[in-house]
Structure 1
Amino acid sequence: MTAWVVLFSIAGLLAALISGRVRPAVAFVTLAGAYLLLGVVDTPTLLQQYTNPALVTLLLLLLVSLALERSPLLDWLSQRLLHGRESTATARLMGASALLSAFLNNTAVVAAFLGAISRQQRIAPSRLLIPLSYASILGGVTTLVGTSTNLVVNSFALGTGGFELGMFQFALVGVPVALITFGVLLWCARALPHHRPEDTEDKLSYFLAADLQPGSEMVGKSIEENQLRNLDGLYLLEIERDHRLISPVGPDEVLQAGDTLVFTGEVSKVQTLQRFPGLKLFGDQADDLLATNLVEVVISHESELAGRTLQAVDFRSMFNAGVAGIRRGGKRLEGQLGQIPLRVGDCLLLAVGNDFRQQRNIDRNFHLLSGSFKRPQLNRTQSLLTLGGFATVIGLAALELLPLFHGLLLLLGGLLLGRVLSPVELRRRFPFELWMIIGSALAIAQGLEHSGAAALIAQGIQTLFAGHGVYAAFVGCYLLTLLLTETVTNNAAAALAFPVAWSTAQAFGVDPMPFIMAVAYGASACFLIPYGYQTHLMVYTPGRYRISDFLKTGLPVSLTYSAGVLLLTPWVFPF
């Protein structure tokens, strides 16, 4: 009976994750707590999962990456890759992204290239950003530290099987699969859209909401009389009045106090609104807001703004900046902009003061796309010592001379002693949600195992593939993981699929290693939908993409990647 209760609870967890209404950390922690109260797992087992050595190793790696991502190496590369023919530049960018992502956090790699690609004018960013994101995934699957997903799988292998995976064990399949998929990706990139900044479609991508204040001389005059019809670079799209929308807006429409005027327009023309008295942009006077620097940012996956509205947060107090505009991919945002919940990957146009860069919460919440502000970088000595120290740690771990956990702990201590990182920065950027998700997922996996639910699923898979052999079951586990990673998140997919894959291997009485690798590679196979992987969300809006762009490019890539994994994994890791 307990096994069925656990299975239904997992179905509820999946439904919550797919709906997007519940943050993954909340969903996983709640279910882990429910298992504790119901006696599915006991207190020592639950607490042990949050101190899993492989999980702590992942946290150390992410903290060390805070220093690595500030190395000028990434910016130096981004300025030198995009020359020559477009196809050559794309291949060069993909290769650099993959190589760096094999050892660095792929989010940091994409963030470093994102600004440079968005600012340059030679090649349309939409031709480069999807290849950049996909290449970072392909590079990440080749090493243990290349993606958090591999380290999550490693934590499960340690917790369940009592063994750890090697640094380059993933490369045996990952490298040839990445090389084959690279060719397909480069071919598919030719069909990506050309969205240049001068295109009309891109000029109309920002949405600005301006409130008309009582007492303004614009009140009681028509659109024509207020000269709102032929604005330079801006277009009055609609008016929000008494919770209803007036669209399209005719030239004879008379403005009323309290109207919200919704404009679309290009970044460089937002200053046009300064000449209209009595307009407030997202609660700030237009002339005050737009008299400062304009900076374009993307909301990061760590941001506390995700799921919240601009009206619900005290934005100016948090960041010493005002919001001048908002856009989301190529989508038409509808309704009252101040009440639209923000998403990871949304672009905001900020009017900032001179001390914006000194705000302590900028790096956690935003990736900078444009503007005169740059993230603080390490000096040459700090950069060489940081990169050299990291390379030494990876090399010693690969040669099995020093455990990765020990090496990263020593390196983190050295970075703190050398003042490359500070305790305040570590506290501010600590991946608390990821720690809660994975720790809770490990506890849920224990519940699946101890309750018999995982064995029940494995029996179902064994029955389903009876007569087709263990290879069919292996394919089924991979496809299950791929489906989960496209609908929830990659780490959640690995957490939910691992116990099933492990129990399936036990049910067939075979070596679990190919099933473990199926979960690792399958959890990184997010190529079809932008919402399942954080780097896709990072490039979604700057590239002015639609979901169809990911589908058209990602389907051949996903099929090639999957075929390579399913053919090579059982050959490299026999059953």
Structure 2
Amino acid sequence: MHFIIALMGVYRAEIGLLILALMFVAFVRERYSPTVIAVVGACAFALLGLLNEKSLFSVFSNSAPLTVGAMFVLSGSLIRTGVINRVADLIMARAKIHPRLALAEVALGAAVLSAFLNNTPVVVLLIPIMFKLAQATGYPVKKLLIPMNTIAVLGGCLTLIGTSTNLIVAGIAADQGMASFGIFEITPYALAGAAAGIVALLCLSFLLPSDPPSISGETGGTVQDYLTELVVPHDSELIGREIGSLGLFGPSVVLLGLKRGSEIRRREILDEELRSGDRLIVRADGTAIMTLRESGGFDLGVAADSATSAREGKVIEAMVAPSHPSIGERLLDIPFLHALRVRIIGIHRSRHLPGPALAEARVRGADRLLIAGSDDAIRSLKDNPHLIGVDISRTRAFRRNKAWIAIVAMSAVVLLSALNIIGIGMAAFIAVGIILVTRCIDPEEAWAAIDGDVLILIFAMLAVGLALEQAGSVALMVGWITPLLKIVPVWSLVFVIYFFALILSELLSNNAVAALLTPITIALAQQLGVDPRPLIIALMIGASACFATPIGYQTNALVYAAGDYRFADFVRIGVPINIVVGLAVCGALVVLG
């Protein structure tokens, strides 16, 4: 036993490298998630005495993961208050007038939004927009999704807060004694990469496939539209107003017709003045329906008893079972509507909307219903054997009246940190406190917006990096690499670091690679007697700007699935873009850094 302990004491550095190699193999094999591998790796270092208890828990004092979490919440508040959705609606309105110009505006918007928000929700929001733009312009959607994703990823590299990877690297570098990075310090170099990447996209667009996706609908499978009706109450202030003046309609709420009495009109209705009892037949997504429900200007949907309000109680989602006795009957005649105080406020059917109006829609198996009702009514619906998956709707109304607070909070974080008035972490936490106390977002929604998997991965890899440093593994690796790098020009080091980080990130988690390579890069720079700052910037961008595989970056996987791409499609276009962007970034670092 004493011999083993002595042996471990002598070969601490080598044992650390062995654990790292095993972690690398596990990352590549993907039998477990990167977070599990990172946590197990940190535990292995702790069990073998290469990382003591105090050092293990010291990683939780690092500001980088906490700043990442705060930025997740701020991004969530912009979504919750409808800011991002409003931007999407404006894009679609522009696309109807100038569809081709809208493509350029979407590209610019994706880059700008991704520079200040987590780019995953940005890409999620833009996927259905790209499907609609493909229809409007005649371009194959597969020629639009990968470029949109590429620009969003490049946009995320433009600022320190654009990606969690940048914040992780900056946080570790600060712990290593480097001066804090400014929010726009990396922007000139990332701009060079973004410009080169966009030019490469334009020149290499012929490499993108043009066949239609075989698995996605017109929205890319990300949006559920419902048929609903807006009923004008007898005492409504809207009576006498022209329908076109309401300001309700756009991509999220599409006017389909006006039902007055038993007559349904589809054309030339925007100039009609509203009357008591009029029903506006609309197509809307779930969030828009919930927003209309809370606004109180209209009654929503249909009910057997007109006294039953859509604003009563809670809203549930339920699927009609194929065994339902009302299959083929009108929705208004479905039995529970007459037996319970409930109101059906929307119906969704895969691939097309039912009709001609909500009450007259014929029920089919697998139809999804949005139902508002009291707690007692909802309990009864949960016991209904002819309804499947009855549960409280997770869709929430936008809090548009709070949107200005969310915008000001995010803008203040950017401005205060850019002017070095306050650190990015402190600014983000103060902003989180403001949006919570002003109810831009509820606490449970704020915590749900945080990607806990990302945070645990960051903390675990910080522990692994610290263990490698304490065990002497970092010094050992630097000792091996330094003689090789001494014979190359100093300017070439940024190329070495950038493309090494890029290759690893195409295979492994970006954040794991960033956390692992940051202390090694700093130690290497110190050993060679060069400024580590350009090398760290190269690491930041190289670990994120990965386009050659669907697993190279998290948003790559989103468009891979939505566009029904093949793996080779990413390789064909991604490898040359990786090279072009990398050369541009490194060239800018050599010239300007």
Given the two structures, how large is their TM-score scaled by the length of structure 1?
0.68
Which residue among 46, 67, 83 is the counterpart of 2:77? 67
Deviations 1:491-515 (A, max 9, x none): 1121222222122112101111111
**2:31 aligned with 1:18:** no
**2:559 aligned with 1:539:** yes
Q: 8 Å contact 1:196–1:202 — kept in the other structure? A: no
Q: Distance in 2 between matches of 1:183 and 1:571?
A: 20
Calculate percent identity across the aligned residue pairs.
29
Q: Residue type of the partner of 1:165? A: F
Determine the structure 1 residue equivalent to 2:306. Answer: none
| Structure 1 residues 184 and 85: alpha-carbon distance in aligned structure 2, compared to 1, 3 A threshold | farther
**2:455 aligned with 1:435:** yes
**2:590 aligned with 1:570:** yes
Q: 8 Å contact 1:153–1:516 — kept in the other structure? A: yes
Deviations 1:521-541 (A, max 9, x none): 110121100112111111112
Determine the structure 2 residue equivalent to 1:480. Answer: 500
Name the SS for the 1:442 alignment partner. Answer: helix
Which residue among 552, 556, 559 is the counterpart of 2:572? 552
Q: Distance in 2 between matches of 1:511 and 1:45?
A: 27
Which residue among 469, 485, 492 is the counterpart of 1:465? 485
Aligned Cα root-mean-square deviation (Å): 3.4
Q: 8 Å contact 2:38–2:457 — kept in the other structure? A: yes
Q: Distance in 1 between matches of 2:496 and 2:194?
A: 22
Q: Distance in 2 between matches of 1:166 and 1:138?
A: 18
**2:121 aligned with 1:111:** no
Name the SS for the 2:551 alignment partner. Answer: helix
Deviations 1:10-55 (A, max 9, x none): 1111111111111111111111122122221222221121231222
Name the SS for the 1:496 alignment partner. Answer: helix
Deviations 1:287-312 (A, max 9, x none): 569979xxxxxxxxxxxxxxxxxxxx
**2:173 aligned with 1:157:** yes
What does 1:329-348 correspond to in 2, within 5 Å?
A: none
Deviations 1:275-326 (A, max 9, x none): xxxxxxxxx965569979xxxxxxxxxxxxxxxxxxxxxxxxxxxx99999x
Q: 8 Å contact 1:98–1:138 — kept in the other structure? A: yes
Deviations 1:202-236 (A, max 9, x none): 99x99xxxxxxxxxxxxxxxxxxxxxxxxxxxxxx
Q: 8 Å contact 2:174–2:180 — kept in the other structure? A: yes
**2:119 aligned with 1:133:** no
Name the SS for the 1:354 alignment partner. Answer: strand
Determine the structure 1 residue equivalent to 2:58. Answer: 48
Query: Aligned-pair distance for 1:168?
Result: 0.2
**2:424 aligned with 1:411:** no
Q: Distance in 2 between matches of 1:382 and 1:201?
A: 34
Q: 8 Å contact 2:78–2:407 — kept in the other structure? A: yes
Determine the structure 2 residue equivalent to 1:194. Answer: 210
Q: 8 Å contact 1:25–1:437 — kept in the other structure? A: yes
Q: Distance in 2 between matches of 1:403 and 1:183?
A: 35
Q: Distance in 2 between matches of 1:519 and 1:505?
A: 13
Q: Residue type of the partner of 1:107? A: T
| Structure 1 residues 566 and 419: alpha-carbon distance in aligned structure 2, compared to 1, 3 A threshold | same
**2:539 aligned with 1:519:** yes
Q: 8 Å contact 1:465–1:472 — kept in the other structure? A: no
Q: Distance in 1 between matches of 2:326 and 2:576?
A: 45
Name the SS for the 2:562 alignment partner. Answer: coil
Q: Residue type of the partner of 1:468? A: V
Q: Based on CA coordinates, which of the two structures has the bigger radius of gyration? A: 2
Query: Aligned-pair distance for 1:442?
Result: 1.0
Determine the structure 1 residue equivalent to 2:112. Answer: 99
Q: Residue type of the partner of 2:23? A: L
Structure 1 gaps of 5+ residues are 207-283, 293-320, 326-349, 360-372
Determine the structure 1 residue equivalent to 2:515. Answer: 495
Name the SS for the 2:182 alignment partner. Answer: coil
How many residue pairs get aligned? The number is 429
Q: Distance in 2 between matches of 1:290 and 1:434?
A: 46
Query: Aligned-pair distance for 1:91?
Result: 2.9
Determine the structure 2 residue equivalent to 1:354. Answer: 370
Q: 8 Å contact 2:405–2:440 — kept in the other structure? A: no
Deviations 1:322-380 (A, max 9, x none): 9999xxxxxxxxxxxxxxxxxxxxxxxx8644269xx9xxxxxxxxxxxxx99645344
Q: Residue type of the partner of 1:388? A: V
Q: Distance in 1 between matches of 2:325 and 2:165?
A: 42
Name the SS for the 2:116 alignment partner. Answer: coil
Q: Distance in 2 between matches of 1:514 and 1:200?
A: 44
Query: Aligned-pair distance for 1:545?
Result: 1.0
Q: 8 Å contact 2:216–2:563 — kept in the other structure? A: no
Q: Distance in 1 between matches of 2:127 and 2:216?
A: 21
